[in-house]
Chain A
Amino acid sequence: MTIAASATIAAEGGSEGGFHAPGPQTFELPGVFPWGGHGEYAVTKPMLQLVLAAILVFGFFYLASRKRALVPGKLQFAGEGAYGFVRNSVGRDIIGSHDFQKFVPYLVTVFFFIFVNNVFASVPFIQFPTFSRAGMAYALAGLSWVVYNAVGIHKHGLVGYLKLQCVPSGVSPAMYPLLVPLEFFSNILVRPVTLALRLFCNMFAGHILLVLFSTGGLYLIQDVGGIGYVAGPLAWVLAILVSFLELLVQFLQAYVFTLLNAMYIQGALADEH
């Protein structure tokens, strides 16, 4: 009897009586418009954030490049700096100066789209990282998969491309039955999954941290009292510090996604040995 009762309490996560810890349910947001779909088909805040991010990124680069003055004004200078950062450090240095220019629009778009969507987690009144909804991260990873495979197949042909990806050089043919399926699995099947999971899980964990410290601090002050009056504001200070860490993680995840995209494209374009 007692074991069953304590089992129930322990099974609920064992947290303090009334505190609702954040979890996957924190990320299920209701539909925004009453006339959109319902349930799983509702138009939700993350969907609107995606559209907003697209408009912001396009608007920034369009306005920055409109005048095309030889001596740039402030906006054009900022746009050129932002564009040049991705073009040079990710495009040219990774893909190589020979054929990186075709991919620069794709890389710049991916980087700034992901960055703006991530930063939405830190913007007041929005405060939700779009890519903490896994489906959106998987869509981007699917696009990346199509791009690097199409580039490789276009250059080497289907068989040549599969040979390039799956057959490592400098290995005795006796190892092929073991290595080739492993390389195929790792290079063709797993890459989009890890790309998406890396982005999704970073945003998911960061948002849960922020929600945990914020709501936990409030719970400590309101419902625990006593030591809670000290621990609560401490939780809030930690929330502020974690917010700064999240800004770094947001930039880093966008950069790493773009960098890995460029590396996969470079790997697909690599010449035979």
Chain B
Amino acid sequence: MAVNALAITGDMGGSLNMIGYGLAAIGPGIAIGLIFAAYINGVARQPEAQSRLQSIAILGFALAEALAIIGIALAFVLTGK
């Protein structure tokens, strides 16, 4: 391994995987915030559209969330040993 996990996490006890996951969760976090901000704006402008917008919002949420979830799962699965 080019990078020694110990060199970064040191004695503190921890895992490079979790640092990676923390960084990977920034993007999906922002994305989900944007999606639901758009949904709330849309419903605020036209409350009758709520049920039509809801399925789009849920779809967008699941697509954005998938990346964060892949991050946490791979952080557990790939130990690099």
User: Footprint of B on A, CB under 8 Å?
Assistant: 6-7, 9-11, 13-15, 23-24, 89, 93, 194, 197-198, 200-202, 204-205, 208, 252-253, 255-256, 259-260, 263
CA distance A111 to B65 in the complex (A): 19
Q: From B13, B66, B69, B72, give the contact of A13 (CB < 8 A).
A: B13
A-B contact count (CB 8 A): 61
Return chain B residues, CB-CB under 8 Å to A205.
Answer: 69, 72-73, 76
CA distance A13 to B14 in the complex (A): 6
The main secondary structure of chain B at its interface with chain A is helix
The main secondary structure of chain A at its interface with chain B is helix
A202 nearest in chain B by CB position = B69
Return chain B residues, CB-CB under 8 Å to A263.
Answer: 59
Q: From B5, B55, B72, give the contact of A201 (CB < 8 A).
A: B72
A11 nearest in chain B by CB position = B6
B11-33 Cβ-contact flags toward A at 8 Å (1 or 0): 11111000000000000000000
A90 nearest in chain B by CB position = B55
B13 nearest in chain A by CB position = A14
Q: Give 10 pairs: A residue, B residue, CB < 8 Å, sorted on A.
A: A14-B12, A14-B14, A15-B13, A24-B76, A197-B66, A201-B72, A204-B76, A205-B69, A252-B58, A255-B58
List B residues 50-81 near A (Cβ within 8 Å).
55, 58-59, 62, 65-66, 69-70, 72-74, 76-77
Return chain A residues, CB-CB under 8 Å to B15.
Answer: 13-14
